[in-house]
Structure formats: C-alpha cells, structure tokens
Structure 1
Amino acid sequence: MIQVQGLNKTYESFERGHTFLEALKSMVVRKKKTVEAVKNVSFQVAEGEIIGFLGPNGAGKSTTLKMLSGVLEPSGGSVRILGYVPWKERRKYVAHIGAVFGQKSQLMWDIPPLDAFYMNKEIYGIPKEPFLETLNEMTELLQVEDVIRKPTRQLSLGERMKCEFIMAMLHRPRIVFLDEPTIGLDVVAKEKIRGFIQEMNRKGVTFLLTTHDMEDVERLAKRIIVINHGDIVFDDGIDVLKQYLGAKKRVRLVTERPWDGGWSHASFTVTGVNTGGAGLELELDLGRIKLIDFLAGMEERYGIADLSMEDIPIESIIKALYGKRANPSQPDTVRP
C-alpha cells in the first residue's frame, strides 16, 4: 500500500550570531544553512500492518509523515500510496486516508462533536446510510453515545480523543496516520483507544503510528521503523528489536550478605544498590554466562534471599538505537 524510495527533504535556514554586532550584520548579509531533515529513506508497508514509526525529537519522523500525507513535497525520491503520489493527487488521495494528531484537534471548540461529524459527512460526500452505520458502530465501540452531543470544550481529554478518532474514521479510510494518539490520557482511556485501533486493524485498516509511549508500540505494532538524524536505523519486527541488545535480562536480587563489589564479571553490570547493600539491580548478559553459573557465583559469595528477572525494557533498546546512525553500506535499514 505504501512504497517509499530514496525520500529526501532539505530546508534552507539562516544563521545569525549571538552578539549585537553579529545580529546587525545578519540584517544585511545572511549566511545560508542547509538542513537535511530526511535522507534517503526507503520502506514499504503492506495492507493491514500496524507500523511503529519511532525516533527522538528532530529525527525526521514528523517531516516524513507530512510528505506521506501530502502536506509537504519532498526534495527528492518517490512515494506512491494506494497508487497515488500524495502531493500531486492530494484531492483524490485524502479521500482514502485519515489522521489523528494528539496535540492538534479536528473538532470545533464551541460545537458538539456530532455537528463536526456531519460537517465531515458533507466534506467527504459520505452517503447518509453508510455514515449513520459507521457513526453508530464507532460511538458504541468507544462508548461515547452521550458525549458527542456536548460542546467540545466541555469534554475531558480522553473523551475528546475518542471523538477525534471517530472524526478521522467516518469516511472509512484505508490508511490512518497516528501522531501521539494517546498523549496525556489516563490508563482507561488509553485502553479504549488501543482496543479501537486493534478492532479497526482487524477490519483491514493500515496504521502508521508515531509515539514516545513504548506501551503503545508493544501493544499495537508488530513491526518497528526507527529513524534518527533523518536516516532509518532499524526496520524489522518487534521480536527482532527485543534481541538488539543480545540475550540480556534485568535482574533484581536481595542478598543475605551486603554487596561489596568484590565480584566482577564481563557478563553483568550493576545498575543499582540500595542503602543497606542487600538489594541489587543489574543487567545480565546470558550470552556471556549461563544463568546457573551466575546464580551459583552469587549464592557462593553473597547468598540469594530473593530474585526476580525480566526482559530489558523496550525503552532501553530504543534509546540505544537513537544513538545510532544508519550504516552507509545499508542506507535503507540496519538490522541487528
């Protein structure tokens, strides 16, 4: 459904000095600066996928989404989505896509969401019967039957975001771009939104999701694309992503004798010690030592009173990727 090849976007900006004299000089002669927001980005998305499109602030993900939605024209490369070139065939193209931005509203502040829904019905030319069918289905799924009749200004953030999703989905788009869709929501509202996305995906809708909430990624996406400094540094399944740091585990220990740092090994790194020295947190690399050998060594030296072990959080893996640039020999993807 989405084919992106060699996508580039550059901007021109102007530098100015920090001193008063340099500021005066810049009023007459301005020094140009070229910024590469996106560099040679390539990927494909199949129908029915939910893609987590991740990156730190300033990585180029929002610029990429704007080009995919047709808001921006790229400096180079090609994009075809559903057979359309987004910025050239925008009027036809937007009838097949939806967008939800957590910090930008499509609703109108002083009127109820229901009125805004009917406005979208006319904008998209949705026939009455399909419109009512979709509206009833989505209001029931998100449990906002009474909410949609209140002025938007009276809604909570969670209620408003549910209505934003209905607004974006009324014309039954085949592809939906999501930018921080659960930002600021409580746990209950997040669960409702995630359930709605999963239900729409089961019906064939493709989602491209950008977020800093790693729980959204783990719950929704099967494939992750990580972009940094304008380059794609990872493009693969979430299971492969979790293997990026190797066979590492986070271990919490309570020892019978205080930790004194007397045992060191290349397989583990102590990340925390409580005041009494009996509680330890560490990262253990099971690729360097067998678990039974680690436990035997810890038991012999300090005694184990309690132990818990879990996978390295996905946030730590993403953070490691954020510090990585794409491999010049593999400009499209860098896989673990």
Structure 2
Amino acid sequence: MVYESRFKPRIYLSQSPSKCSIVLNNVFKKHNDQNIFNGVNLTAHSGKICAILGETNSGKSMLLSCLVGGDKIDKGHIWVLGGKPRTKSSKTLTKYTGYMPQEFCLYKTMTVLELFAYFGNLYNINYKFILWRISYYKDIFTLPPINSTIQKLSFSEKRMISFIIAVFHRPRLVVLDEPTIGLDVLKKNQIWRYLYHVITTWKPTVVVATNNIEEAFLATKIAYLKNGKIIFEREVEELLRTNPKQSIDLIVEDLYTSKNSWINSNQSETPRNKKLSICKKINPRSNIWKFKTIIIQNMKFLTSNIWYVILGNNINNVKTRKCSNS
C-alpha cells in the first residue's frame, strides 16, 4: 500500500487500479450565497454506469463540473482516478477523462472531420487511427457528413458529435451531462446501447446526469440528488428486486420519503479510520505533444486569413486558440 497523508480522512492508494474510480466525501459548496451541496457522499466504480438523478437546478451539472475540475468545492474531498481535481497532479487526468457538458463547446467554423482531428491530436491519436475511429462511429451512430460545418448542424447532430468526442479517446472516466436531452428515441437508444458496450469492453466509469426517472433506471446505479445531498444511492437491480410490483416512479418516491434502514447506509460521514479503495496515481507526462495540437488548430484560422500573412498586414486582430493544460 502507498499511503497518502495529505487528505483527511486518511486515504490509502493501492498499487494497482481499483474498481472505485470516484469518491466524494462530505462535499460542501456555495454559489451566489446559496448552498448547492450540503455534505454530498458518492462512490462510482469502473465498468458501471452511475446515474445522478435530480430535478432541474438540483446541482447535477455543478456536481459533474466539480468532478472534472471545472468548479471548486468549498469543503470536503473529491478523489477522481487517483487524483484530486483542480490540483497540479490532476492536469494529467485530461487524457483519461471524457466530458460532455450541456452547453455546446464545439468550434463552429470547423467541419466534423476537422473537429475530430483536433480532439484526436489533443489526445495524441494518430491521424490514420482518427479516420478509422470516425468510420467506426459512423457505423454505430447517425452522423452528418464529415465535411459539414458544425454551425450548420442541427441540435441533435451537435449533441451526437459532443457525445462521440467525449468517448473518442476511450477514457477511463466518461462524464455526461444530460446526454440524450433533445434527441429522438433512435439516437437515445444508440447512445445507451453504446454505453452498455463500453462498460463490458474497456470498462470505464460512466457518470450520467439526468432528470428522467426512466432513463436513470437504465444505469447500473442511481444516486438521487436533492436539497444538496445524495438522498439514496442504490443499485438498480436491487431496487427492482426489492419492489418488483411497483412502478419506478413510486420506487423513487418511496425511497425519498421512507426512513427504512436500507435507504443508503453510506450517508453518514466516513469514519477517519475507514480505508477508501482508490485508483493509483497517474504519472505526469510531457506536454510537448500539445504544441502539435496548437499548430493544427490555429492553422485553419491563419490560412483563412492568408492575405494578412502574405501582404504583411497587422494580424493582431486574427483570433487564434490555445490548448489548455488542464
């Protein structure tokens, strides 16, 4: 065992990757003087789909953002893939995490092919393998032509592209914020069938935020977020086995209102002497390869304004982009 003493409660790191990829322990956060999290406790495992179920504005998106390091918590501990988000060591987690937010974070002027090539280079994937991946996903999903510009795509097409980008590099952690919102039944089924496929093949940890009860029951585990806390955290098979004759709506309602002992015994604060099984730390790697991504991305903007370069005009107003270190 490798012992990590910087965090309380004490956390033990195993030498080999553990099935417990995410641990949230007594997490608190305020936003605009409003309590968002009031002691959130949660675990997620590799090869499993954890659905964060909650109403609109319950803090689901904020929770996912904290997992990937987009937002900072005020109190408590978050451990993701052997690293703590928003720290120097967590910069190496970018390669191992795929994140699909609700908002579109796509470069509108790029084509579908250019976008996949950009993110492929960001994850240091060979161009021939990028083309193979695109062909592979075209056989699974309903995708637009690869020469289509992102800004001309429909809402559902953009959502599908966002989803594929999140899983394109086969990450160890897949974080999806309302991935099927606004999609038709066919595209929803395509996404969930693929999620079932990946958890049985390369076995990532999948975290899905949703306000749809029926969709939450497609996952392997449900964590119900309400009033800033995880009210219950249960395996779907256990819920259906315990309540075989109840509708899923009544199951969730009964779990929320009931005070039975099986509502989630893990809601109490983790004892200090409890050992949390965490993945091993990820070793840092060189950032030199990122320069290739920067050049490729900015080349499109420079070539589109080629007369600025040829005639020697002032190119200060030409927008370029940079590659994030986080």
TM-score past 0.5 threshold: yes
Q: Given residue 4 of structure 1, which amino acid in structure 2 is its aligned partner?
A: L
Q: Give the counterpart of 1:11 among 9, 28, 31.
A: 31
Once the 2 structures are TM-superposed, how far is the Cα of residue 225 of structure 1 from its aligned partner? 0.7
Alpha-carbon distance between aligned partners in 2 of 1:82 and 1:243, rounded to the nearest angstrom:
31
Confirm or deny: 8 A CA contact 1:5 1:77 kept in the other structure.
Answer: yes
Counterpart of 2:96? 96
Once the 2 structures are TM-superposed, how far is the Cα of residue 116 of structure 1 from its aligned partner? 0.9
Cα distance, 1:153–1:12 mapped onto 2, change above 3 Å: closer
Counterpart of 1:290? none
Confirm or deny: 8 A CA contact 1:233 1:326 kept in the other structure.
Answer: no
Q: Verify: 1:53 aligned to 2:52, yes or no.
A: yes
Once the 2 structures are TM-superposed, how far is the Cα of residue 83 of structure 1 from its aligned partner? 0.8
Q: Given residue 313 of structure 1, which amino acid in structure 2 is its aligned partner?
A: S
Alpha-carbon distance between aligned partners in 2 of 1:319 and 1:60, rounded to the nearest angstrom:
19
Give the structure with higher Rg (CA): 1
Once the 2 structures are TM-superposed, how far is the Cα of residue 153 of structure 1 from its aligned partner? 3.3
Q: Given residue 82 of structure 2, which amino acid in structure 1 is its aligned partner?
A: G
Alpha-carbon distance between aligned partners in 1 of 2:55 and 2:259, rounded to the nearest angstrom:
12
- Gapped regions of structure 2 (runs ≥ 5): 1-20, 269-326
Q: Given residue 121 of structure 1, which amino acid in structure 2 is its aligned partner?
A: G
Q: Which runs of 4+ in 1 moved over 6 A?
A: 323-327
Show CA shifts across 1:86-124 (max 9, x none): 1113421121111123x3113233432211111112323
Confirm or deny: 8 A CA contact 1:108 1:116 kept in the other structure.
Answer: yes
Give the 3-state SS of the residue equivalent to 2:157 in structure 1: helix
Q: Verify: 1:62 aligned to 2:82, yes or no.
A: no
Once the 2 structures are TM-superposed, how far is the Cα of residue 324 of structure 1 from its aligned partner? 7.7
Counterpart of 1:181? 179
Q: Given residue 42 of structure 2, which amino acid in structure 1 is its aligned partner?
A: F
Give the 5 Å matches for 1:64-213.
64-88=63-87, 89-101=89-101, 103-144=102-143, 147-203=145-201, 204-213=203-212
Once the 2 structures are TM-superposed, how far is the Cα of residue 125 of structure 1 from its aligned partner? 2.5
Counterpart of 1:264? none
- Work out the percentage of aligned pairs sharing the same amino acid: 25
Q: Given residue 42 of structure 1, which amino acid in structure 2 is its aligned partner?
A: N
Alpha-carbon distance between aligned partners in 1 of 2:155 and 2:234, rounded to the nearest angstrom:
33
Alpha-carbon distance between aligned partners in 2 of 1:11 and 1:213, rounded to the nearest angstrom:
25
Q: How many residues align?
A: 245
Q: Verify: 1:333 aligned to 2:271, yes or no.
A: no
Alpha-carbon distance between aligned partners in 1 of 2:32 and 2:105, rounded to the nearest angstrom:
30
Give the 3-state SS of the residue equivalent to 2:110 in structure 1: coil
Q: Verify: 1:231 aligned to 2:233, yes or no.
A: no
Tell me the TM-score normalized by structure 2. 0.67
Confirm or deny: 8 A CA contact 2:233 2:264 kept in the other structure.
Answer: no
Higher relative contact order (CA 8 A, sep 6+): 2
Tell me the TM-score normalized by structure 1. 0.65
Alpha-carbon distance between aligned partners in 1 of 2:123 and 2:172, rounded to the nearest angstrom:
14
Give the 5 Å matches for 1:194-273.
194-203=192-201, 204-219=203-218, 221-242=219-240
Alpha-carbon distance between aligned partners in 2 of 1:69 and 1:226, rounded to the nearest angstrom:
20
Q: Given residue 22 of structure 2, which amino acid in structure 1 is its aligned partner?
A: I
- The structure that is strand-richer by fraction is 1
Cα distance, 1:319–1:124 mapped onto 2, change above 3 Å: same
Counterpart of 1:313? 247
Show CA shifts across 1:160-198 (max 9, x none): 222112211222211111111111111112111222222
Once the 2 structures are TM-superposed, how far is the Cα of residue 53 of structure 1 from its aligned partner? 0.9
Once the 2 structures are TM-superposed, how far is the Cα of residue 65 of structure 1 from its aligned partner? 1.3
Give the 3-state SS of the residue equivalent to 1:148 in structure 2: coil
